[in-house]
Amino acid sequence: MTPTLAGRWQTRLLIYLCVGLPVTLLYALYLDFEDDGFYDPFVFLTALLIVGAILDPVYNYIQRFRWDNDWPFAFFVFFTFIEFLITLGLLNAGMLDPFLTYRIENDTALVHFSWVLFFSFISVLAIIQVFFIRWRFKGGELGRM
């Protein structure tokens, strides 16, 4: 697939809303944080969304140098790990502290990220392509005819 910038943002937001938030809700319930810390995984996921949305224009620029202008799913996984490392760096640098009740441990963030990535990858490979049949041919844009 050759995603457009609008398609990247639309797909990212769809995955965040339909996959990331439910998985994070289940993970937050599993962690059984105190009342105030319940929202901390959601803050981390939202920071990951923002970092990814900021990097999407860079991905579009990199994509232009590929011979077929394609963006394979291996790139999806690799650059998602890059986004995670940047977000984890922001977390460890204390830049997310104003939004967090408690500092999220690195291993907790990694497990959370792994679950979200797993279900996101499955949904991009299968579920989106079932419910949005032309998604792949429209550059990832959901509403374009």
Measured CA to CA, the distance from residue 66 to residue 56 in angstroms comes to 16
What pLDDT does 18 receive?
A: 93
Which pLDDT tens digit goes with each residue over 46-103?
A: 999 999 999 999 988 988 887 777 778 888 889 999 999 999 999 988 888 888 877 7
| Amino acid (one-letter) located at 15 | I
The sign of the dihedral angle between the CA atoms of 70, 75, 77, 82 is negative
Question: Two tokens at 100?
Answer: 């967090």
Whether 76 contacts 55, CB under 8 Å: no
What distance in Å separates the CA atoms of residue 131 and residue 104, rounded to the nearest whole number? 35
pLDDT at residue number 113: 94
For residues 140 and 44, give the distance between their C-alpha atoms in angstroms, rounded to a whole number.
25
Domain boundaries, the chain: 5-138
